[in-house]
Amino acid sequence: MSSSGRKKVQRKCKIRGYTLDPDAVDEILSFASNFDDSAPDDDAIDLLLDFLETQPRKDKETVHRLVTKLSRADAAVYDGDDDGGGGTSEPDWHIIDAFKVPKFRYDPIKKSFYRHTGRLSIHGEASAKSALYRDRFLLLSQIISRQKEFSRPAFGSKSSDAGRREISPIQSLIGQTGRRWVMGLISQLEDGHFYLEDLSSSITAGFFVENTIVVAEGEMLLEGVFQVITCGFPPLEPRDESLQFIAGNDFFGSSSLTEEETLRLAKLDRTVANDNVVILSDIWLDDEEAMGKLETVFSAFEDEEFVPCLFVLMGNFCSRPCNLAFHSFSSLRLQFGKLGKMIAAHPRLVEGSCFLFIPGPDDAGPSTALPRNALPKYLTEELQTHIPNAIFSSNPCRLKLGTKEVVFFRQDLLYRMRRSCLVPPCTVETDDHFEHLVATITHQCHLCPLPLIVQPIIWNYDHSLYLYPTPDTIVLGDRSDQKAFKYTGITCFNPGSFSSDSTFVVFRPCTQEVELSSL
């Protein structure tokens, strides 16, 4: 390859923050030259450099080892593909139910995570409620402890202290003067009086949403009240840094992958052509107009060259709440059966697509607490006779498609967050409420940081709502307007209410492309 190719590799390495020996560059150029016009050199180089960035050594031997594994992964992708249709491989994906998500806890002494191995009861003891808050606090505190601006300098000096905000335990503020930075959880220990708590003590405060964890700068007054000068959420840790720290632990629940498997899936991400995911929320089966619109959507995708690999249908599946006053479960069961017949009338979709059903907040179930169980078998078994590849999962649930991690959550969260907000959000940067919502849940590393009295959560399964490490995509099914927002590399969107607004989303996880659609 010409000298321009060498300069291209060196420039890409410089952007990633490292340099390579000439022999290692030659190895990369040799690897890129094996690709034909259907796979541009830039793609091949970027793929290799992405994995080289994670290696402690970046010499010729390391590059050669990665090239060998990548070549094996390439062969594994196309192994047995005799139809000549390169680039049409099926995506490798896996659905993770919320009740199957592994639970990890942080040990502040050893400064590492360990996996909980015991049985988790649905009806937890009283200690599980306090552990819920403690685990959330420790999760965010270990993130902030690795941030340079919030850490104590190794050698104390005026120059090294500049711009640093060392976090002080709340208990240490007693008798102290001057400004201090603290981190704590907003709680209402007395009616109308809000406090900021950490693992040591509590002080009076009054901002944001109860149950959120904040970092605040202020000063302790003589009467024992902490006067807040400025406050904000804990900083968001990039996904790559979190993955390095957790040392191979599988927080997502899809099982850890070997390096060769990761390379194979990364190659597969770049070659699949039919990895589109169609996401619809609020599918009212008892509404004839909504069912007619759903038939239109299915017919349109039936005629596409490549049918979507997955349809995600989120509740509510009835226009009325399925509570104690609801006495039409047999009718709802028949309506699910009609939906199964509607899907079965589209043979290409039945053959090439899977269908994932996620319950909504008003659907039938044992309780309204999160996470919610999958739809009862009584309602769905007739549908499953027509669509054997239908999957019924919890709310929330997770999808691992190739190397991409997607979280689905169906809840009218925006309305509840705005109603529970103690202080209106700042509109200096944006006045879009959906963007404020995305910032809140990502910085809290939690899908639903609301008071338990507003949204009950099963204490022992609070970890299934964690967003750590941050996933690639968060799908927030909400009755509010259809929105899409990319925040610090995380793709977040709301497909809108299909039955009310005729809106839905076509999503391509491998490229993070979001197509906001409507009828």
Q: Would residue 48 count as lying in a domain?
A: yes
**φ, ψ for residue 208 (rounded to 5)?**
60, -145
Long-range contacts of 33-36 (CB under 8 A, 24+ apart): 33/1
**pLDDT on residue 207:** 36
CA distances from 316 to 178, 382, 471, 496 (A): 52, 18, 25, 12
One-character DSSP codes across 11-80: HHHHHHT----HHHHHHHHHHHTT--TTS-HHHHHHHHHHHHTT-S--SHHHHHHHHHHHHHHHHHHHTT
Q: What tens digit of pLDDT does each residue of 210-221 get?
A: 889 988 888 888
Q: pLDDT band at 441, cuts 50/70/90?
A: very high
pLDDT at 360 over 80: yes
Element (H, E) at 435: helix 433-444
What mean pLDDT do residues 406-411 have?
97
pLDDT at 55 over 80: no
Share of the chain above pLDDT 90, in %: 49
First vs last C-alpha separation in the chain: 50
Helix (H, G, I), strand (E, B) or coil at 148: helix
Q: Would residue 510 count as lying in a domain?
A: yes
Last residue of a domain, one of 41, 72, 103: 72
**pLDDT on residue 72:** 56
pLDDT at 40 over 80: no
Domain that holds residue 50: 3-72
pLDDT at 395 over 90: yes
Instruction: Give the range with max mean pLDDT: 3-7, 196-200, 227-231, 301-305.
Output: 301-305
Share of the chain above pLDDT 70, in %: 83
Name 227's bridge partners: 219
Q: What tens digit of pLDDT does each residue of 56-103 get?
A: 567 777 777 777 766 655 554 444 444 433 344 455 678 999 999 999
Last residue of a domain, one of 52, 72, 92: 72
One-character DSSP codes across 252-285: SSS----HHHHHHHHHHHHH-S---EEEEE---T
Give the pTM: 0.80
Q: Would residue 415 count as lying in a domain?
A: yes
- Cβ(407)–Cβ(442) under 8 Å? no
Burial of 289 (0-12, 13-18, 19+ CB in 10 A): exposed
> Of 87, 456, 115, whose CA–CA distance to 267 is shortest?
87
Tokens of 222: 């003589």
Instruction: Give the range with max mean pLDDT: 113-117, 120-124, 142-146, 294-298.
Output: 294-298
What mean pLDDT do residues 206-230 have?
79
Question: Domain tally for the chain?
Answer: 2
What mean pLDDT do residues 365-394 have?
93
Q: In what order do the strands lie in the sheet with 193-197?
A: 202-205, 193-197, 179-190, 213-220, 226-232
**pLDDT on residue 75:** 52
CA dist 323 and 321 (Å) reads: 6
CA dist 48 and 43 (Å) reads: 9
Q: Would residue 60 count as lying in a domain?
A: yes
Q: Would residue 219 count as lying in a domain?
A: no
**pLDDT on residue 290:** 96
What mean pLDDT do residues 19-34 have?
79
Last residue of a domain, one of 43, 72, 101: 72
Q: Would residue 203 count as lying in a domain?
A: no
CATH label of the domain that carries residue 420: 3.60.21.50
pLDDT at 36 over 70: no
Q: Would residue 486 count as lying in a domain?
A: yes
Handedness of CA 206, 211, 214, 220 (dihedral sign): positive
Q: What tens digit of pLDDT does each residue of 472-519 get?
A: 999 999 999 999 999 988 999 999 999 999 999 999 988 899 999 999
pLDDT at 418 over 80: yes
Q: Would residue 360 count as lying in a domain?
A: yes
